[in-house]
Amino acid sequence: AVANEIGYPVMMKASAGGGGKGMRIANNDEEAVTGFRLCKTEALASFGDERMLVEKFVVQPKHIEIQVIGDQLGNVVYLPERECSIQRRNQKVIEEAPSMFIDEVTREAMGKQAVMLAKGVNYHTAGTVEMMVDKDRNFYFLEMNTRLQVEHPITEMITGVDLVEEMM
């Protein structure tokens, strides 16, 4: 039912997952039923939790990360994006900043959305908002990492901002 509402293709994945485990793509109802069953089994075996998410699968995606920094006064800013589309088994291999694919209009729109998200949850430190962007530059929220990621020095290099110092 959910897959038909959001439209195929869809990605089914373990809500407690990571590392690409418990993930399947479905292009129709038959694949969704079979894939969902397999994902739940793998999720339970790998993570001890069979809860699943179903989301739109983005064809020809770009994986974009937006660094945000907020303070305890409610101020939040975003910094230029990192593109981490080159992956192996859903794990980042190369990060590029700024993205060659993202234009200024999309960059600003994504940054504003990242700031709205952080403000909406009263976020007051450094974090990363991850989004998927399709070939037409439509973007979709993926997740927010409420910590500095190992890739944060890339943002520091291109902006000159010491994110660890800003967190203190």
Q: Which residues are catalytic?
A: 143
Residue 15 DSSP class? T
For residues 55 and 11, the answer to whether their CB atoms sit within 8 Å is yes
Q: Give the span between the Cα atoms of 12 and 37, in whole angstroms.
A: 10
Q: Count CB-CB contacts under 10 A for residue 109.
A: 14
Provide the residue type at 30 as one letter.
Answer: E
Of 86, 128, 85, 137, the residue nearest 108 (C-alpha): 137
Give alpha helix (H) positions in 49-100. none
HSE-up (13 A, CA, CB side) for residue 126: 19
